[in-house]
Structure 1
């Protein structure tokens, strides 16, 4: 009778897979011995496997190059990284090794761009696509970047007032794009995205505000679907409507030469994940070309803004199961040594699922469990695996530690979780490890950030100020009390 965890996985999925393999009944991820990583750095633990960032960028570039060639497409392709997915320096440094461009979404993003320019990581030839609702500081920062010579900064107009605000701040001529306010799927609580300008209003907006404005050149139309690039009637219908706007706008404005189709490539969230990236890209290119050919206009250069696709599959989190609580006759709670709310907030906020696998114990019998976090919050749990509404893990034993890993967590989790700041119930941010390879393929690991300390959290909360004042007062009258206070903290 096949009752071991490895038997369950073999019966349910094709395994091993490209990134997941077994060695001595323990899990390897892209050839990384995760148990060795745990033995060296402990758990809980977060890690970023940097080579996966470059790998995904070059996969996408290859798919677009093939589609452009197969369809005899005359436009170029430009890969932009959506920085809000992960602003960390190690992520940008790795991504920018691959001749890409950048998409920004807020004022401080521009400070990062200027920092990267000062280091020689990007140049004036790098496109900086500036999305988002722009006011005050963001406008000033974009203007500063353009005024200092970065003419390839393209602010994407999100509302009717931004052109006037930008024109007041920018010294000379500048280039812009316009974002289409796409219509959302019927299941959404609203009909139209809050971002951008409505389909039917774009051409009139161009004629009224841009056409006779000698300072502004319209270069790009921006199109993004909130639910991502998926093979659905909804997506293809929205792309068709976008192309109708592009054609109409192109005929009014010959300087329009670029279409930004945004981001939205899904990433692997299950061992059963299937998505035909090459087909989707080929079909997008084919439909764009067909529409332009039928209308007698030149095809646009294509821009994308992949964020999660770029960095998501590089990240992972490892936890130790501390204890198993049996709450009734059938519910077993495996309690991890961290929190889902704080370390993987998307699991709590939007019920997002990641690939979850045990690191050890693949040769043990399996059992159905629930996973609970350390916070005293009823929502701090994870109870649904990718293939069924349950989690199955090797049987817990108090004598031998059980470690579990969540994979492809590299996008958004640190920033949404408030990296380096306060965490729910003051559960500290785990240690974060960077993993790279040298020219010979050997692994290189380093500590990016240690686990948060109580002193760091208390400092954010203002207690250090109070403690220091208390120490100062105590020293003037009761030295022995001062020493006791120090020890207590």
Structure 2
């Protein structure tokens, strides 16, 4: 009878997989020996596997190149990284090795761009697509960047006042894009996104504020929906509506030459995850080319703003199971040595699921459990896997420590959790390790940040200088 944890996984999924394998009876992630990582740095810990950032960028660029070649598409493709997914320098440094561009969301993003320019990581030819609702400081920083010669900074107009605000601070002519306020899925509690300008208002807005304005040149139409890029009727319907606006604008605005389809590629959240990225890209370009051909306008250059897809699959978190609490006849709580609310806030805030696997003890028998965090908050738990509706782990044994890993956690968790700041119940942020490969392909690790100390939190709270 097959009762080991390895049997459960092998019978349920195709295993091993590209990034996951067993070696010496313990889990490997992209050939990284996770038990060795634990032995060197301890747990809890977070890690970033930097090569996966470049891997995903190159995958997407190749998919677009294939589709462009297949359809003899005349436009160019530009990959932008959505910085709000992770602003860390090590992430940007890795991403920028791949000839990409930048999408910003707020004022301080521009300071990061200027820092990268000083270091020679980007140039004036790098596109900086500035999204978001633009308050005074954001407008000032965008204007400073453009006034200092960054001709490929394109602020995306989010509301009717931004043209005038930018014109007041930018010295010379400048380029802009317009964001479409897409209509939300029927299950949403509101009908239209708060971001951008409504479909029906875009052409009148162009005629009123841009067409006869000698200082402003419209270059881009920006399209993004909250659910991301999905193969469903809702996505294709919204894309077609966007394309109708594009061709209407293009006929009266010769300078318009780019369509930004935003981000929203899903990332792997289960060993059973399936998504045909290449088909989606191929069909998006096919839809764009078909409608442009029917309307007799040139196809646009394509921009994307992949954030989670760029950095999400590079991240992971490792915890130790400290103790098991049998709370009733059916519920066993495995208590981890950290907190889900503080280290993986999306599991608490939006019920997001990540790939969860034990690091060791795959040859042991398994049991169904719930996972609990250390805070005294009833919501600090993780109780189901999207692919199983339950968590199964090797049986708890006080004499055999069990380590578990959550994978593909690299997007948003540090910024939402408040990296380096106060955490709920003063649970300290864990160590963070950077993992890379040297020129010979050997794994190398580097400590990025230590686990928070009491003094760090007391200083923030005003108890220490």
Normalised-by-shorter TM-score class: over 0.9
> Residue 403 of structure 1: CA displacement?
0.1
**1:368 & 1:360 partners in 2: Cα distance?**
17
The structure with the largest alpha-carbon Rg is 1
Residue matched to 1:148: 148
Residue matched to 1:425: 425
CA offsets per residue over residues 99-157 of structure 1, 9 Å max, x none? 00000000000000000000000000000000000010000000000000001000000
Q: Secondary structure at the match of 2:459?
A: helix
Say if 1:271 and 1:386, in contact at 8 Å, map to a contact too.
no
**1:345 & 1:25 partners in 2: Cα distance?**
31
CA offsets per residue over residues 12-51 of structure 1, 9 Å max, x none? 1000000000012210000000000000000000000000
Residue matched to 1:228: 228
**1:81 & 1:173 partners in 2: Cα distance?**
26
Residue matched to 1:438: 438
CA offsets per residue over residues 39-74 of structure 1, 9 Å max, x none? 000000000000000000000000000000001100
Say if 1:324 and 1:335, in contact at 8 Å, map to a contact too.
yes
User: Does the alignment pair 1:166 with 2:175?
Assistant: no
User: Does the alignment pair 1:318 with 2:322?
Assistant: no
Residue matched to 1:53: 53
**2:209 & 2:136 partners in 1: Cα distance?**
21
> Residue 388 of structure 1: CA displacement?
1.9
Residue matched to 2:64: 64
CA offsets per residue over residues 392-445 of structure 1, 9 Å max, x none? 000010001100000000000000000000000000000000000011100110
Residue matched to 1:485: none
User: Does the alignment pair 1:6 with 2:2?
Assistant: no
> What is the root-mean-square deviation in Å for CA atoms of aligned residues?
0.4
Q: Which runs of 5+ in 2 are unaligned?
A: none
Residue matched to 1:242: 242
Q: Secondary structure at the match of 2:464?
A: helix
5 Å-filtered alignment, 1:98-109, equals: 98-109=98-109
**1:133 & 1:145 partners in 2: Cα distance?**
17
Q: Secondary structure at the match of 1:264?
A: coil
CA offsets per residue over residues 147-175 of structure 1, 9 Å max, x none? 00001000000000000000001001000
Moved more, 155-164 or 20-29: 20-29
Residue matched to 1:129: 129
Q: Tell me the TM-score normalized by structure 1.
A: 0.95
Q: Tell me the TM-score normalized by structure 2.
A: 1.00
Say if 1:354 and 1:407, in contact at 8 Å, map to a contact too.
yes
**1:70 & 1:451 partners in 2: Cα distance?**
50
Moved more, 230-239 or 387-396: 387-396
Q: Secondary structure at the match of 2:241?
A: helix
5 Å-filtered alignment, 1:440-479, equals: 440-465=440-465
Residue matched to 1:268: 268
> Residue 386 of structure 1: CA displacement?
2.8
Q: Which runs of 5+ in 1 are unaligned?
A: 466-489
Residue matched to 1:483: none
Q: Secondary structure at the match of 1:213?
A: coil
CA offsets per residue over residues 186-223 of structure 1, 9 Å max, x none? 01110000000000000000001100000000000000
**1:398 & 1:176 partners in 2: Cα distance?**
61
Residue matched to 1:353: 353
**2:60 & 2:429 partners in 1: Cα distance?**
32
**1:293 & 1:63 partners in 2: Cα distance?**
22
Residue matched to 1:415: 415
**1:334 & 1:408 partners in 2: Cα distance?**
22
**1:74 & 1:364 partners in 2: Cα distance?**
57
Residue matched to 2:178: 178
Q: Secondary structure at the match of 2:134?
A: coil
5 Å-filtered alignment, 1:251-262, equals: 251-262=251-262
**2:93 & 2:302 partners in 1: Cα distance?**
24
Residue matched to 1:305: 305
Q: Secondary structure at the match of 2:312?
A: helix
**2:55 & 2:171 partners in 1: Cα distance?**
40
Residue matched to 2:218: 218
Residue matched to 2:34: 34
Say if 1:157 and 1:176, in contact at 8 Å, map to a contact too.
yes
CA offsets per residue over residues 319-373 of structure 1, 9 Å max, x none? 0000000001111000000000000000000000000000001000000000000
Q: Secondary structure at the match of 2:302?
A: strand
5 Å-filtered alignment, 1:85-100, equals: 85-100=85-100
**1:69 & 1:226 partners in 2: Cα distance?**
29
**1:56 & 1:118 partners in 2: Cα distance?**
26
User: Does the alignment pair 1:388 with 2:362?
Assistant: no
Residue matched to 1:481: none
**1:455 & 1:228 partners in 2: Cα distance?**
42
Say if 1:91 and 1:311, in contact at 8 Å, map to a contact too.
yes
**1:180 & 1:387 partners in 2: Cα distance?**
35
